[in-house]
């Protein structure tokens, strides 16, 4: 990559991973050099030094992966009808959008795939993580203890999911670190207690007093009890 990292650590560059959900939107990025973010659905951390692009299923061989990055030149505010004048009668024509003006697109050294074909809309990360990630879950920015647990679980041969969503009987559960299993799953987090779906076990990393090995041992035991990790 030609991103200017000579005088700054890659970890100081803020990256926002965004979803490309239509070929028209990707053509706009490629030919006109901008991407739109609806103000009413924008992430709390919308400011970024770069945008990275995650492709949905409509892109066939590029689907469910991050493949390109572009520097952010500036943010502008505009209504949808101004951005897409050929859709002036759209139901959201008067909604406000951030028009993110971009510099040249660059391919990443290697694609960053999603193992479970996850739909992501906005994911803040850093250039350092973007360049070192093996898969989507490596992009999440975690608290130091959570990061240590994450690395230890991967080192133990597990394939955890970050910020994993499970829906059960109309209730939505968001699990910081999740290991889906053949029967339910195991959730790991920093809180002493956290709600998990029926059939799941929660393991608190904080209650172990920093003993990462004991956290991993308990997770492994629970995974085995639940029929093994879901590949």
pLDDT in tens, 179-231: 999 999 999 999 898 999 999 999 999 887 779 999 999 999 999 999 999 86
Other beta carbons less than 10 A from residue 56's beta carbon: 16
pLDDT at 22 over 70: yes
What are the pLDDT digits (tens) for 68-112?
A: 999 999 999 999 999 999 988 889 999 999 999 999 999 999 999
Number of residues assigned to the chain? 231
Whether residue 90 lies inside any domain: the answer is yes
Examine the domain organization and report whether 58 and 125 are in the same domain. yes
Could you tell me the pLDDT band of residue 7, with boundaries at 50, 70 and 90?
low
Other beta carbons less than 10 A from residue 204's beta carbon: 16
Whether residue 165 lies inside any domain: the answer is yes
139, 156, 184: which is the final residue of a domain? 139
Domain of residue 184, residue span: 144-225
Whether residue 46 lies inside any domain: the answer is yes
Examine the domain organization and report whether 133 and 160 are in the same domain. no
Closest CA to 97 of 175, 18, 173: 18
What are the pLDDT digits (tens) for 106-143?
A: 999 999 999 887 778 899 999 999 999 999 999 999 99
Q: What are the residues whose beta carbons fall under 8 Å from the beta carbon of 93, sequence distance 6 or more?
A: 79, 80, 81, 87
- Which contiguous run of DSSP H or E holds residue 19? strand 14-20
pLDDT score at 124? 96
> What's the count of helices (H) and strands (E) in the chain, helices before strands?
5, 11
* Distance from C-alpha of 219 to C-alpha of 129, rounded to nearest angstrom: 25
């Amino acid at each position: 990559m030609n991103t200017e990292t000579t005088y700054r650590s890659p970890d100081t560059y803020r990256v926002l991973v965004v979803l490309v959900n239509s070929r028209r939107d990707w053509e706009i990025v490629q030919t006109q050099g901008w991407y739109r973010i609806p103000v009413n659905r924008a992430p709390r951390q919308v400011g970024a030094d770069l945008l990275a692009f995650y492709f949905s299923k409509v892109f066939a061989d590029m689907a469910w992966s991050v493949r390109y990055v572009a520097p952010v030149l500036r943010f502008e505010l505009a209504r949808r009808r101004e951005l897409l004048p050929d859709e002036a009668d759209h139901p959201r024509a008067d909604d406000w959008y951030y028009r993110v003006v971009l510099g040249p697109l660059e391919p990443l050294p290697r694609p960053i795939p999603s193992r479970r074909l996850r739909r992501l809309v906005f994911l803040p990360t850093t250039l350092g993580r973007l360049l070192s990630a093996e898969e989507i879950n490596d992009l999440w920015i975690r608290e130091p203890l959570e990061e240590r647990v994450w690395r230890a679980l991967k080192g133990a041969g597990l394939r955890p999911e970050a910020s994993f969503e499970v829906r059960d009987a109309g209730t939505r559960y968001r699990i910081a670190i999740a290991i889906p299993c053949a029967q339910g799953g195991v959730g790991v987090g920093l809180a002493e207690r956290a709600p998990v779906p029926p059939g799941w076990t929660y393991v608190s990393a904080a209650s172990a007093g920093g003993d990462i090995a004991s956290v991993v041992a308990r997770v492994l035991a629970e995974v085995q009890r639940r029929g093994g990790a879901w590949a």
